Structures are given as structure tokens and as C-alpha cells.
Amino acid sequence: MAFFLAVALSFIPAFVYAAIVYWLDRFEKEPMRLLVGAFIWGAVVSTLGAIIWTSVLQLGIGLLVGDVAADIAGTTILAPIVEEILKGLAVALIFLIFPHEFDSILDGMVYAAITALGFAATENVLYLYFLGYQDGGYDEMFVLFFLRVILGGWGHAVYSAFIGIGLAAARLTRNPIGKFFFPLLGLVVAIFLHALHNSMAVFLVSAAGLSGFVALLLVDWFSWLVALVVVLWAIWREQRWMQEQLRDEVAMGILSEAQYRTASSIMGQTRARMRGRDARHFYNACANLAQKKHQLARFGEENGNSARIAQWRAEVARLAPLV
């Protein structure tokens, strides 16, 4: 019973957080199959890989410097490096196999955050059951739930989001140096934030108690705020693309003025997508059309942009009378 409760307390909030991430992707929604795959990768592959590789590396360090130092290094150095690399691999695979799905900075953040939420869900099960319930019963389990899932629920998602930003920036730049540098920088930032959190938890909280814990939360929440600002900027940028790129479709008679205004409005899209399946497909098609037109203008015939534009324009024309 306790184990299944730990699963529920870990995965249900993770699904809620994932739904929030999906909602924030206002215009061009990412394919659900890729998001589900990213979540499963985080929950299974990243978690198991992190347990194995961190344990192996920690064991090696323990043989050199002793178990106490190895435990500290495992938490503050090895875990952040191994976990962020394994989570980042899912985003990198999507980047390499489905590059046309990386249309904006927000896309990279979405894939990375969903992967990280899967990882966090499985990790939280282990913490809540083995370090919570088995050590102190249900009371300890609920304390850990409040600390890890409620107060720290966005931690892994925000760390890994910077990997997604780096990969998306590499996708969107034509500078060969940037294509190498941006993913590396994103990984370094993710590892740094993760290591900073773990180091503060190990050293500052144990030394300063409640004040150290408050300081840890403030540092974490500030990084969350920075990530949220990037998300809002990315949404605004995509809205500008919608406004610029869909004007031609109005002139061509494919979109009405009302449909154009709704397609390029954050709140308009939100309300319109609640009208049914046809409306959701229509406005998603509008967003895909705008994204591909923007890519054609910026990168030219990359991955067959003209053909994709023709396909999405035909889909918009087909669905427009139904909306």
C-alpha cells in the first residue's frame, strides 16, 4: 500500500506539471508521441542509467578517497553530471531524428522539461518510499512529498530546460561555432544549477538549518523565475511569427480576418481550442504553417520547407470552413 501511495504522490503531480508545460506551448503543439516518449525516457532510461552510472563512479571514487568523500562527491558532483547528460540524451535524440520539430526555443524547453518530469517522478517514488516511509512511516513520506514534489517540484524540469534551450539555439543558428557551443553551454548551465542545489542541500542546510533551507528555496525559485521569463519571451516571439507569417493567407482568402486574429492571439487560441477537435487541429495547422514559413525565410530550403509549407497550407484551407 505504501509503495503504491508513493507512486501516486510522485506521478500524479508529475502529470499535472507536464500538463502545465504542454499548456504553455501555446501555438505549435509538439507531437504527443514524442512527449510521451520523452517522459518515459526520463522515468525509465534516465533513472536506471543514473542509478547504475552514479553508483559505479561513486564506488571508484570511494576506493581512492574513502566512502564519506565518495558519498559527498556522488551527491554534489556525479549525480548532477550523470543525470543531466542522461536526460539531455532524450532531447538530443529528438533534435537529431526530428529536427523539423525544433521550431523555437520553447520547443527545446518543452521536450527537456517533459523528460525531466519523468525522471523526477521515478526518483521521487524511490525517495518517498525508501527514505520516507521505510525510515519514518507515512509522516516522513508526506514530509518528503511536501519538500520534493510541492516546494521543489520544478527543479529537474528547470535544470534540463537549459539543455533544451541550448539545443534549440543550435538548431536556429547558422553559425557553426554556435551549433557546437550552445548545446555545450546549455548542458553546463543545467549541471551547474543541479550541482548548486545539491551542494546547498548537503552543506548549507545541514549547517544553517531552516535559514539554509530558505536560502536554498530562494536560489531554486530564482532559477525557476528566469526559466519562466524565457518561456514568456519565447511565447511572445512565436506570437509575432504568427502575426507576420499568416498575413499572406488572409490575402489569399485561406484565412478570414477573424481566424487570423484568433490564430495570432494567445487568449484567442486558448478559447478556440476548447471548441472541439477541428478547432484544435486547425489552429495547430496555422501555427505549423507560420513556423515553416518563418524557417523558409530564415534558412531557405532546409528539410524541404517549401513542401511542408504547401502541406500545412492545404491543411489550413481544408479545415478553415469547419471552424
48-67 pLDDT, tens digit per residue, is 999 999 999 988 888 888 88
Whether 81 has a pLDDT exceeding 90, the answer reads: yes
Q: Could you tell me which residues come within 8 angstroms of residue 170 by beta carbon, excluding any fewer than 6 positions away?
A: 95, 178, 179, 180, 182, 183
Residue in 187, 294, 309 with CA at minimum distance from that of residue 241:
294
On whether the CB atoms of residues 255 and 286 are closer than 8 A, the answer is yes
Taking the C-alpha atoms of residue 293 and residue 242, their distance in angstroms, rounded to an integer, is: 10
Mean of per-residue pLDDT scores for the chain: 91
Does residue 102 carry a pLDDT above 90?
Answer: no
pLDDT digits (tens, 9 = 90+) for 251-299: 999 998 988 999 888 888 778 777 778 888 898 889 889 988 888 887 7
How far is residue 323's CA from residue 320's CA, in Å, rounded to a whole number? Answer: 5
Q: How far is CA 99 from CA 93, 94, 176, 218, in A?
A: 9, 7, 16, 36
Could you tell me if 264 and 246 are in contact, meaning their C-beta atoms sit under 8 angstroms apart? yes
Per-residue pLDDT tens digits for 120-179: 999 999 999 998 888 888 999 999 999 999 999 999 999 999 999 999 999 888 888 988
